[in-house]
Structure 1
Amino acid sequence: MSEPALAPRNALGGVVAVWATAFVATVALGIFVSEEWRVPWLVVAFGGIVLLSFAVQLRYGRTQGFIFRVAGSVTGALLLMGIISVGFGLAAMIPT
């Protein structure tokens, strides 16, 4: 088991998959959850994203760069969720 992988899988795919999941979860929460419950559910969704990031990177099966890949996944998802939630917050300020 100590032999290096001849053709390791691309780790960027797992990072992008976590970002895509964060995007879909944030947009779904913004659309389907009422305004007063949106922030608590975004926190719960971000916790799920962190767990998903660990699971995806553990499935990748390489120890080299594990922390870097998880940090990239989580940081990118946090920024993405923050930007989208700011958009929903600004949209909520517009009177109907």
Structure 2
Amino acid sequence: MTEPALAPRNAFGGVLAVWGVALISSIAIGIFVPEVYRAQWLLVCFGGVVLLSFAVQLWQGRTQGFILRVGGSAIGSLLLMGMISIGFALAALAS
């Protein structure tokens, strides 16, 4: 039987950490990967971010709201990476 935590950790911190990894990795892909391969690498990166979101939420060990936190991490990362890739696409069109 498990006892409830007296002072549970903030569950939103794990979501923000995954968003930070998505931000840094998508900017790195936009800078270092040639334009022809950017879409493929962004897909690979998003797959890694989804796995990371599962790992982070499982590491926290809280069952309440697990699906909501993993979904928030994944969807937020997808939107963030999409906005950054749109920015790089517009920059490529301008040059």
Q: Which residue of 1 aligns with 2:68?
A: 68
Aligned to 1:48: 48
The answer for the alignment partner of 2:7 in structure 1 is 7
Residues 31-57 of structure 1 show CA distances to partners (whole Å, capped at 9, x for unaligned) of 000000000000000000000000000
Aligned-pair CA distance for 1:3: 1.2
Aligned length: 95
Deviation at 1:2, TM superposition (A): 1.9
AA matched with 2:75: T
Cα distance, 1:94 vs structure 2: 1.3
* 2:92 aligned partner: 92
The answer as to 2:39 corresponding to 1:39 is yes
Q: Which runs of 5+ in 1 are unaligned?
A: none
Structure 1 runs of 4+ with >2 Å offset? none
Given the two structures, how large is their TM-score scaled by the length of structure 2? 0.97
Return the letter of the residue paired with 1:6: L
Q: Percent identity?
A: 66
Runs (5+) with no aligned partner, structure 2: none
Equivalent residue, structure 2, for 1:30: 30
TM-score, with length taken from structure 1: 0.96
